[in-house]
Amino acid sequence: MRTCAILSSVLACVALFVACGGGSDPEPEPAEQNSRSIADLPEHKTSPLAQLMREMTAFGDTTRARLLRGEDLPPYPVHFKDMLTLESTPGMVDHTTYDPFAIAYLYQLDSLYKVPVAERQQGFDELIQYCAACHGEVCPGPLVRINKLRMPG
Ligand code: HEC
C-alpha cells in the first residue's frame, strides 16, 4: 500500500517533468512526425500558459538580439501579465509557489522598460534570472533554453 503510494507519486513527478517540456527545441517538428506524436493525446496538448511561455521565450530572443545591437526594446508585452491567470498543463501550477515568482518576473519586466538605456542589458539579464528562478522551483526542463538567453559576459 505504502510502496504503491510512493511509486505512484514518483511516476506523477516524472509525468510532470515530461509535461513541462524541454523547450530547448524551438524548431517546428516535421509534419509527418507531428501526426503520430504523443502531442496528439489530450494530456500532451500545449496549454495556454505553455503557449505564452513560448512567446516569452521568443520575446527573450528578440530583446537580447536588439540590445546586443544597441537597438531599442520591442513594444512592451502587455499580455505577459496573463501568466498569472492562464490555464496550465494540469498539475503544473501550484499558485502558492508560482505566484510570487510570476509577480517578481512581471515587476522586473516593468523595470526593464523604466531603467536608463545604459542599464537595459543588465536589466534584461536580471529578467532572465527570474525566468530561471521560477523554473528551478517548478519546471526544470526549459532551464537549458532559458540560460541561452543570458547576456554574454
Ligand atoms: C512564475 C514561474 C515562471 C516564470 C517566471 C517563467 N516560467 Fe516558463 N514555465 C512555467 C511553468 C509552470 C511552465 C509549464 C506551463 C504548462 O505546461 O502549462 C513553463 C513552461 C515554459 C516553457 C515550455 C513551454 C512548452 O513548450 O511546453 C518554456 C520554454 C518556458 N517556460 C520558458 C520561460 C522563459 C524564457 C521565461 C522568462 C522569460 C519563463 N519561462 C518564465 C513557469 C514559469
Residues with CB under 6 A from ligand 1: 19-21, 23, 47, 49-50, 53-54, 56-57, 60, 88-89, 92-93, 98, 101-102, 105, 130-131, 134-135, 138-139, 142, 145-146
Helix axes 120-138, 95-112, angle to 10 degrees: 170
Nearest to 101 by CA among 78, 77, 147, 135: 135
Q: Using CA atoms of 15, 87, 33, 12 in order, give the dihedral in degrees to the nearest 10.
A: 10
**Residue to probe by mutation, ligand 1, list 92, 108, 130, 135, most atoms within 8 Å of CB:** 135
Continuous H helices in 69-152: 95-112, 120-138, 143-147
Residue 88 Cα to ligand 1 midpoint, Å, equals 10
Residue 19 Cα to ligand 1 midpoint, Å, equals 11
Mean pLDDT lowest among 37-46, 63-72, 83-92: 37-46
Residue 23 Cα to ligand 1 midpoint, Å, equals 9
Give the residue-averaged pLDDT of 11-17: 43
Nearest-Å Rg of the Cα atoms of the chain is 17
Residue nearest to atom 1 of ligand 1 (CA): 102
Residue type, 143: L
Half-sphere exposure of 72 (CA within 13 A, CB side): 3
Helix or strand run (H / E) with residue 6: helix 2-20
Render pLDDT for 20-38 as a digit per residue (tens, 0 to 9): 665 544 444 444 444 454 4
Render pLDDT for 88-143 as a digit per residue (tens, 0 to 9): 999 999 999 999 999 999 999 999 999 999 999 999 999 999 999 999 999 999 99
